[in-house]
């Protein structure tokens, strides 16, 4: 991609259990975003695997072979393993925690170090991160340039995201845990006081400069006690909560917007399992073609109605009697 703006690294996170879905989702993500970024880094987070665990080893080897094939097809794509070395941990600590110890996981056993390490693993400072299961509709090929313009002009913005869910005619967002603030005089543009680690575009230097050092916060008292009894170790609050608190202290926001023309919107597959895997190729076809069930509009999480529409080959199933 020949950039007219500072270079952008797209970063996708996978595990060895993601192979079946990645075979369908990764090509979709490259189709949607590949021409808007300068390079793509797939970061694979593998748990410790003993040599006698043959199924796990085979899954890891198969994922590596698949990613090697993708690297051959897409010259600006590369992949590597998550780096848990002392040097990598020290870099995260110096960049985001003022040299203090970075927690590996939160009280739910979700990553803290890993989510910060991915910001430092890319080639460029501008990082567009997506989780490996994210889907995107709209297909605008100008969204990234529009987002960079917003980040450049507005110092109160830390990050930009595509609109969460396909747009509704009335512009409402229906499935947000944090109430958004609609931008005055703009359609499908919202500010959030939080950062979503499923998808974001930000400058890692700006994040470190404005929010660091992050604090090692405790979860609520009830969750802290339950976590100590269960895990026998000091619990840590979710990284998204820690970052949200820092954003509030520094007057920082995340901007979610559709953009011009067809724009760009994201869809998160909260519904998983065998039904989702079988319907995924048709589901992605519908998402890319902007054929969306009415009850999916405004919803960031995949709805049962949208899944049934994909299962029925793209038609809206008749309502069941009773």
Mean pLDDT of 256-265: 97
Q: What is the mean pLDDT of the chain?
A: 92
Beta strands at 265-267 and 199-203: parallel, antiparallel or unpaired = unpaired
Cα(309)–Cα(278) distance, rounded to whole angstroms? 13
Res 55 pLDDT > 90: no
Question: Is residue 70 classed as helix, strand or coil in its secondary structure?
Answer: helix
Distances (CA, A) of 201 to 125, 165, 204: 10, 17, 9
Question: Is residue 268 classed as helix, strand or coil in its secondary structure?
Answer: strand
Mean pLDDT of 188-201: 96
Cα(143)–Cα(199) distance, rounded to whole angstroms? 14
User: How does residue 321 score in pLDDT terms, banded at 50, 70 and 90?
Assistant: very low
- Return the CATH fold of 8-267: Spore Coat Polysaccharide Biosynthesis Protein SpsA; Chain A (3.90.550)
Mean pLDDT of 152-159: 98
User: How does residue 59 score in pLDDT terms, banded at 50, 70 and 90?
Assistant: confident
Cα(132)–Cα(12) distance, rounded to whole angstroms? 6
Q: What is the pTM of this model?
A: 0.93
Q: Which residues contact 219 (CB under 8 A, 6 or more apart)?
A: 106, 107, 227, 235, 236, 237, 238, 241
Share of the chain above pLDDT 70, in %: 94
Report phi then psi at 206, rounded to 5: -65, -45
Instruction: Please state the length of the chain.
Output: 322
């Amino acid at each position: 991609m020949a950039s007219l703006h500072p270079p952008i690294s797209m970063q996708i996170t996978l595990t060895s259990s993601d192979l079946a879905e990645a075979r369908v989702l990764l090509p979709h993500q490259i189709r949607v975003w590949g021409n808007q970024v300068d390079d793509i880094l797939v970061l694979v987070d593998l748990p410790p695997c003993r040599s006698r665990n043959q199924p796990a080893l085979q899954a890891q080897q198969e994922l590596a072979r698949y990613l090697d094939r993708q690297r051959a097809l897409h010259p600006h794509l590369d992949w590597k393993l998550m780096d848990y070395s002392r040097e990598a941990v020290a870099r995260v600590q110096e960049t985001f925690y003022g040299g203090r110890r970075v927690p590996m996981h939160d009280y739910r056993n979700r990553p803290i170090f890993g989510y910060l390490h991915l910001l430092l693993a890319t080639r460029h400072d501008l990082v567009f991160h997506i989780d490996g299961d994210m889907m995107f509709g709209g297909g605008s090929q100008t969204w990234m340039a529009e987002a960079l313009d917003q980040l450049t002009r507005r110092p109160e913005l830390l990050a930009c995201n595509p609109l969460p869910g396909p747009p509704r005619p009335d512009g409402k967002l229906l499935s947000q845990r944090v109430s958004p603030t609609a931008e005055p005089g703009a359609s499908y543009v919202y500010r959030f006081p939080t950062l979503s680690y499923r998808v974001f575009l930000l400058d890692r230097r700006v994040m470190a400069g404005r929010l660091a050092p992050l604090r090692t916060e405790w979860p609520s008292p009830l969750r802290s006690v339950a976590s100590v009894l269960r895990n026998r170790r000091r619990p840590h609050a979710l990284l998204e909560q820690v970052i949200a608190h820092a954003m509030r202290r520094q007057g920082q926001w995340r901007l979610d917007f559709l953009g011009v023309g067809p724009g760009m919107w994201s869809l998160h597959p909260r519904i998983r399992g065998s039904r989702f895997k079988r319907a995924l190729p048709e589901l992605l076809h519908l998402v890319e073609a902007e054929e969306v069930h009415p009850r999916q509009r405004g919803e960031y999480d995949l709805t049962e109605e949208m899944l049934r529409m994909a299962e029925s080959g793209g038609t809206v199933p008749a309502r069941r009697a009773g």
